[in-house]
Chain A
Amino acid sequence: MRRGLALLLLPAGLACAGASAGPADPALPRFVEETATSGLTTAYQGDWQYMVGGGAAVFDCDGDDRLDLYIAGGEAPAGLYRNTSSPGGALRFARLPGMAETAVTGAYPLDIDSDGLTDLAVLRVGENLLFRGLGDCRFEKANADWGFDGGDAWSTAFAATWEPGQDWPTLAIGNYINRREEAFPWGSCTDNWLHRPKGHGFAPPLPLAPSHCALSMLFTDWSGNGTRDLRVSNDREYYKGGQEQLWHMETVPRLWTEAEGWKRLRIWGMGIAARDLNADGFNEYFLTSMADNKLQVLTPPEGQLLPQYADQAFKRGATAHRPFTGDDLRPSTAWHAQFEDVNNDGLADLFVVKGNVHAMPDFAAKDPNNLLLQRTDGTFLEAADLSGALGFATSRGGAVADFNKDGLLDLLAVNRWEPPQLWRNVSTGLGGYLTVALTQAGANRDAIGAWIEVQTEAGLQRREITTGGGHASGVLSPWHFGIGAATAAKVRVIWPDGQASDWVQAAPGAAITLNR
């Protein structure tokens, strides 16, 4: 029966390829895997305590406008890599000395002290670490200087925001189960932490209780009213009495309740991707899980703005619930997810990184990552195989970023036991693009929490600038927008405090910097 279905699936894939020239299907990007020559060697290693995590931080640590990499190594040393790729050329990285801590599960880049040099928040099994960026990809531990209590937990999620009036970020750290529980670890989810500012550093962490084994967190303005609440995606495998969470970020954070309209959802939550896919002012959220990924669309009752979502993954062809190719049809296990426009048509696409937890026979062992291209009607076309980005490794974290500055977004997957995989986008004939960098004087230099809007003749695009989400992986870069065939665009930013900039004209290929 399974073999028969596999055979049935193949013509479907080919049919998609054949139909890609049709008006309803998106342009296919073309990727070439450059793992072997990339210079990336850091495999995410370790057994039980490293079954989750395995992330990467993507950011420019040496100021050369190329995106460098920091990759979690699990029980092996993490790896910091300088990007040595030539513009438009093959993807090349050179490993740098230092930054080789063990027990690293993930990392997120952000400028904590707003000195213009990107810092790094490193999640670990054990003490979490903040590294102050010193330039030229040099870092120093800053826990003590910044009063940051790294704790001793199994940390698996991270998000950051600048709360109103603060000149120092608030960090949310999600923690997993009590790793010292052996026979009965279920129900042992340890507290998540909220590290709020205190002077030029952090106050002792505030427990975000109840905590339900978070694997992804995101400060996000879900309601479009300028308020950033904390979305937490939790792993139902381990919590008892838990569910997905949304926290009001008040003086004392409190959960959105069912009485306020929050609807209980319980999944193996592993990753969050957010994007306002139809520029209606509200983010859609893609939540990764096991065989049950969600594409959440805000559908509040008429006349009310409540955090109620309909799952449109099935309706829009974005379930990614089992391998779409190969002969392994068991259910999928999805981790990192990220919306980006990989074919520059002005529509955000979706990269979903997959991999079996560990020898779970009921789930696919050969579980290909998904590259879902968005069509103009909001549905998605699977294109990982058609575009050459097929990968069957046991993956966890990942990133979509332009590593060689050619205006085409490349793909990274961090793997258990194997080096990361890298696919270079070598497409030709795709639409145009532009990038937008944000800088502001004073605190929160990268304007985390802002919204960027890009207007072309094809319509409006909006994206919220966040630090967090995905699976243990974060990107801080000039933000990429495909603009299709448009010959001109205009760009503006709505800064985190709600102030909107003027519209700025931009030509295809422009690298816009908006600052204030």
Chain B
Amino acid sequence: MRPPGPLNRRGFVMGGLAGLGLTALPRPALAMPDRAGAVLGNWYRLLLELIRHTATYSPPVAARSFAYLGITAFEALATGNAALRSLAGQVAGLGPVPARAAGAHDEACVLQAALSHAMAVHFGNTGPTGQRAMQAMTRQMDALAAKDIAADVMDRSRTHGLSVSQHILDWSATDGGAVIENMGFPYDYTLTEGPAHWVPTSTIAVQQHPLLPGWGRNRSFAIPADGACGLPPPVAYSEDPASAFYAQAMEVYQTSKSLNNTQKLIARFWSDDPMLSPTPPGHWVAILLGIFERDATPVDRQAEALALLGMAISDAFVQCWRSKYEHDLLRPVTYIRRVIDPNWEPMLQTPPFPEYPSGHSVQSGAAAAVLEVLFGKGFGFDDATHAEDGLPVRSFSGFAEAAEEAALSRLYGGIHFPAANIQGLAQGRCVGAHVLRLNTRA
């Protein structure tokens, strides 16, 4: 590990991607006991499972919860850590977070109260197994947090943690994404007329309407309401074999016909299907948790990184969805079967919403932009997100490399045209830059 450096977060952000890692940040004023790290880590492990196993948690919805839960953890600690700066007044609509009462607090107890409360609300709709798991986790973490803690400290800490959680939840209720019906598929929807536009690609009945068409109107955390990260229009639709549109479709088609084993693995590795994985945003959170475990990252820095990453991927999905429904482009499977090969099958299942830009690319671009600043460029890590599902661990020399591979995977999978991946990464970097303007250090 590199020694702590002299710069605060604002300093190196303003310094323009100086390549300083999180370990370069000043040590927190208070030594955080391991119990707090265990509370945060265990709840996030469970969070990844609940994202996977709760039917409403499509990628945009998952990203939103990652953001609010990260902010909850961060603000719960920031109120007791002079080195941290609250996001209140910086992110859209967040008012001052309740201050701590006089007297000693225990950070593990504060975190436990805040996270157990917030998780129960975010996943109030999960199934009986998820409810049982949350109850078990609450019992286990209550016991862990309370170990050797005086009753008055525990009570004071718990009260504060709950007040922070409720404050964040009250704020979250007004962002436009709090209520998900029919797993995110509208009961009524009118398709845009014209050959260039999205049509259903699935034989699943509820997916005859696209996912979350209004998500792009949700409140962002760090992006100005005027939509600062818009995209140029996609390649103009044409069925002319000499056209640019035909050419990019042919690239998808020909790529699918010549995939080697590595490319197939990459497609599957970043597939991150809802209900079968922690989703694309959860993939990045899993990467971060792996780094925390490897590097024994202090808990305040964990919370800081989780909050920033959460906001980046959540804002990425809002911006991406705004663009998707603005352009409403058809998927490769629709075009290729219509124009090139009626029997073509992409390797991956085509997601049930418009094509341009690629959601995974946008959020991966945003995640990489933020993490590169927090940890530095060329920060290597192993990605074991899907190890339990039997996929190998992949190693990356930096976050940008991983993001670029995630984007490329959508071409290999046959679910995006190349422009959606390239422009998606660019949109993500734009989102990341906005998130990096937030100050999390005093």
Chain A interface (Cβ within 8 Å of chain B)? 1-2, 4-5, 47-48, 51, 177, 182-187, 236-238, 240-241, 266, 290-292, 311-315, 319, 321-322, 329-331, 357-363
Contact = CB atoms under 8 A, between A and B. Distances in A.
Q: Is the interface of A mostly helix, strand, loop or mixed?
A: loop
A492 B21 CA distance: 77
Given A237-B53, A241-B390, A321-B206, A331 B183 contact: yes
Contacts of A177: 129
A322 B206 CA distance: 9
B438 interface: no
A330 B132 contact: no
Interface in B112-142: 124-129, 132-133, 136-137, 140
A187 B276 contact: no
B204 A360 contact: no
16 contacts: A1-B186, A1-B187, A1-B188, A51-B128, A177-B129, A184-B133, A186-B49, A240-B389, A241-B389, A291-B205, A314-B203, A314-B204, A331-B183, A361-B124, A362-B54, A362-B180
Most-contacted residue by chain A among B55, B56, B132, B183 (CB, 10 A): B55
Given A184-B133, A360-B126, A360-B128, 15 more contacts: A2-B181, A177-B129, A182-B133, A183-B46, A183-B137, A185-B132, A187-B388, A241-B388, A292-B204, A319-B204, A322-B206, A330-B182, A357-B128, A360-B55, A360-B125
B52 interface: yes
B275 interface: yes
Given A183-B133, A186-B49, A358 B128 contact: yes
B425 to A, nearest CB: 28
Nearest to A242: B389
Interface in B182-197: 182-183, 186-188
Given A2-B187, A186-B53, A237 B127 contact: yes
A324 B350 CA distance: 27
Interface string B353-397: 000000000000000000000000000000000001111000000
B187 A5 contact: yes
B56 A331 contact: no
B45 interface: yes
B282 to A, nearest CB: 13
Given A183-B46, A185-B129, A315-B203, A290 B187 contact: no
Contacts of B205: 291, 313-314, 319, 321-322
A51 B127 CA distance: 10
Contact of A182 (B56, B125, B132): B132
A322 B187 CA distance: 11
A290 B181 CA distance: 15
A182 B136 contact: yes
Interface residues of B, number: 38
Contacts of A266: 273, 276
A331 B206 contact: yes
A190 to B, nearest CB: 15
Contacts of B183: 291, 331, 362
Nearest to A312: B203
B185 to A, nearest CB: 9
Contacts of A330: 181-182
Of B125, B136, B187, most A-chain CB atoms within 10 Å: B187
Contacts of A187: 388
A358 B180 CA distance: 19
A362 B56 contact: yes
Contacts of A358: 127-128
Contacts of A1: 186-188
A185 B55 contact: no
Contact of A360 (B42, B52, B127): B127
Nearest to A295: B203
Question: Which 7 A-B residue pairings sit nearest by Cβ, starting from the closest?
Answer: A241-B390, A182-B136, A319-B205, A241-B389, A321-B205, A183-B136, A358-B128
A315 B203 CA distance: 8
B182 A357 contact: no
A238 B49 CA distance: 10
A321 B388 CA distance: 30
Contact of B55 (A241, A290, A329, A359): A290
B55 A363 contact: yes
Contact of A321 (B132, B204, B390): B204
A363 B186 CA distance: 15
Contact of A236 (B132, B133, B275, B391): B275
Contacts of A362: 54-56, 125, 180, 183
Given A5-B187, A313-B203, A363-B55, A184 B125 contact: no
Nearest to B128: A358
A236 B118 CA distance: 26
A358 B127 CA distance: 7
Contacts of B187: 1-2, 5, 329
Contacts of A329: 182, 187
B389 A311 contact: no
Given A241-B389, A331-B183, A362-B56, A291 B204 contact: yes
Interface string B85-102: 000000000000000000
B49 A184 contact: yes
B388 A359 contact: no
A331 B128 contact: no
Contacts of A237: 53, 127, 129
A319 B204 CA distance: 8
A185 B133 contact: yes
A90 B321 CA distance: 58
Nearest to A47: B128
A182 B206 CA distance: 32
